[in-house]
Amino acid sequence: MLTPTAYGLAIVLDLLVLFIGARFLLQPEASATGYGVPAKPNAYLTIKGLRDFSYGILGLALLAFAGTYAAAWFMLVVALNPLGDTLIVLRNGGTKAVAFGIHFATAVVVLISAALLFAV
């Protein structure tokens, strides 16, 4: 039962990051507002979109071709992004609800995913 849960959560998280990246590439202003720090469309929003899109693809590729151990390390490292996002939102006038309810909660779920993948 642990294996389907570990793979399922990791796949869902990778697909969500892929979606977030695509949204930043296609709708940067709306995505920035959803991120918690509104911004006008610029190169940095496109960079964030590309980063997230690439991380989603990389996570899926690791699951498909390298296995759970590599995917677990990836999730562990990539959890730094939503932790950093939490601080960015807080330091730039975003709300605590967005910082903790979206970004910090995401980091916790990604760390749970890493733990499940390590346990498989």
Average pLDDT for consecutive 10-residue bins of the chain (120 residues)?
Answer: 92 96 94 90 90 96 96 97 96 96 98 97
pTM, two decimals, is 0.92
Give the C-alpha separation, 54 to 50, whole Å: 6
Q: Residue 59, CB half-sphere, CA atoms under 13 Å: how many?
A: 30
pLDDT value of residue 44 = 87
- pLDDT, residue 82, reads 96
**H/E run at residue 91:** helix 80-91
Separation of alpha carbons 24 and 69, rounded Å:
29
Residue with tokens 């916790």: 108
Among 89, 88, 80, smallest CA distance to 107 is for 80
Structure tokens that stand for 35 in this block: 């991120």
